[in-house]
Amino acid sequence: MTEEEIAEASDTSTRHIQRLRNNEKQNVTMETVMQLCIGMKLPTTLAYALIEKSGNSFRANDKDFSYQFLLMGYNQRSLYDCNEFLSSVNQPLLGKTAKEMQKNQKF
């Protein structure tokens, strides 16, 4: 995948992807890593490895349980589909567009 394809599928900017690749961005959030895993449709084992490499880990809370469910059962679906699931279980959505829509109550 190109940086542009990853950015589009992950609902982030190409510049953000470039900063991550060049290690310019410190403290990458779990949300960003989840967006990338879903956008790139990573297999579960690679997604977990990327999360660990980013310095993040899953905690025992509803949001992280939902994220784990996505990585195991929705890892070949779009970010939009994953956000539909997150919305159905009252969890924050992933991606800038979905967050704006949720803020405006359109998701």
Domain boundaries, the chain: 3-103
DSSP state letters, 44-92? HHHHHHHHHHTT----SSHHHHHHHHHHHHSTTS-HHHHHHHHHHTT--
- CB-based burial label for 98 (10 Å; 0-12, 13-18, 19+): buried
Please give the pLDDT value at position 50.
95
Cβ contact 18:50 at 8 Å: no
The model's pTM is: 0.87
Segments of the chain scoring below 50 in pLDDT: none
User: DSSP code of 36?
Assistant: H
- CB-based burial label for 101 (10 Å; 0-12, 13-18, 19+): middle
Please give the pLDDT value at position 52.
96
What is the rounded CA–CA span in Å between residue 46 and residue 51?
9
Please give the pLDDT value at position 98.
78
